[in-house]
Structure 1
Amino acid sequence: MSRVVLATRNAKKLGELARILGGDVQVLGLADVPPFPELPETGATFEENATDKARQAATETGEIALADDSGLAVDALNGMPGVLSARWSGRHGDDPANTALLLGQLADVPDERRGAAFVCALALATPDGRVQVVRGEWRGRIDRAGRGTNGFGYDPVFVPQESDAAGDGRSSAELSPAEKDALSHRGRAIRLMLPVLQELLGRS
Structure 2
Amino acid sequence: MQSIVFATGNPNKISEVSQLLEGKIEIRGLKDIGCDEVLPETSPTIAANASEKAWYVHNNYKVDCFSEDTGLEVDALNGEPGVYSARYAGPAHDDEANMSLLLANMKGEEDRRARFHTVISLIIDGKEHQFEGTVEGQIIHHKKGNQGFGYDPVFMPDGFNRTFAQMSAEEKSSISHRGQAVRKLVAFLKTKV
Find out whether 1:123 has 2:121 as its counterpart.
yes
Deviation of residue 198 (structure 1)? 1.7
Cα pair distance change 1:23/1:119, threshold 3 Å = same
User: Which of 168, 188, 192 in structure 2 is aligned with 1:196?
Assistant: 188
Output the CA distance in 2 between the equivalents of 1:58 and 1:199: 21
Deviation of residue 10 (structure 1)? 0.1
- Residues 40 and 52 of structure 2 are in contact (CA less than 8 Å); yes or no, is this contact kept in structure 1? no
Deviation of residue 34 (structure 1)? 2.6
Which residue pairs with 1:44 in the alignment?
Answer: 44
Output the CA distance in 1 between the equivalents of 2:83 and 2:182: 19
Give the root-mean-square deviation of aligned CA atoms.
1.3
Which residue pairs with 2:106 in the alignment?
Answer: 106
User: Which of 140, 143, 165 in structure 1 is aligned with 2:140?
Assistant: 143
Aligned residues: 193
Find out whether 1:7 has 2:4 as its counterpart.
no
- Residues 46 and 119 of structure 2 are in contact (CA less than 8 Å); yes or no, is this contact kept in structure 1? yes
Output the CA distance in 1 between the equivalents of 2:138 and 2:186: 28
Cα pair distance change 1:57/1:22, threshold 3 Å = same
* Identical amino acids, percent of aligned pairs: 39
Worse-superposed segment, 33-42 or 135-144: 33-42
Deviation of residue 37 (structure 1)? 4.5
Letter in 1 for 2:156: V
Find out whether 1:132 has 2:129 as its counterpart.
yes
Deviation of residue 63 (structure 1)? 2.7
Deviations 1:111-156 (A, max 9, x none): xx10000110101002x42001121101100000001000011100
Per residue, is there more helix in 1 or in 2? 1
Cα pair distance change 1:150/1:129, threshold 3 Å = same
Output the CA distance in 1 between the equivalents of 2:35 and 2:145: 35
Find out whether 1:30 has 2:30 as its counterpart.
yes
Output the CA distance in 1 between the equivalents of 2:90 and 2:25: 36
Find out whether 1:174 has 2:172 as its counterpart.
no
Letter in 1 for 2:176: S
> Which ranges of 4 or more aligned residues in structure 1 deviate by more than 4 Å?
none
Output the CA distance in 2 between the equivalents of 1:3 and 1:59: 17
TM-score w.r.t. the length of structure 2 is 0.95
Structure 1: which 5+ runs fail to align?
164-168
Which residue pairs with 2:95 in the alignment?
Answer: 95
Which residue pairs with 1:166 in the alignment?
Answer: none
Deviations 1:24-52 (A, max 9, x none): 21110001113365442101001001011
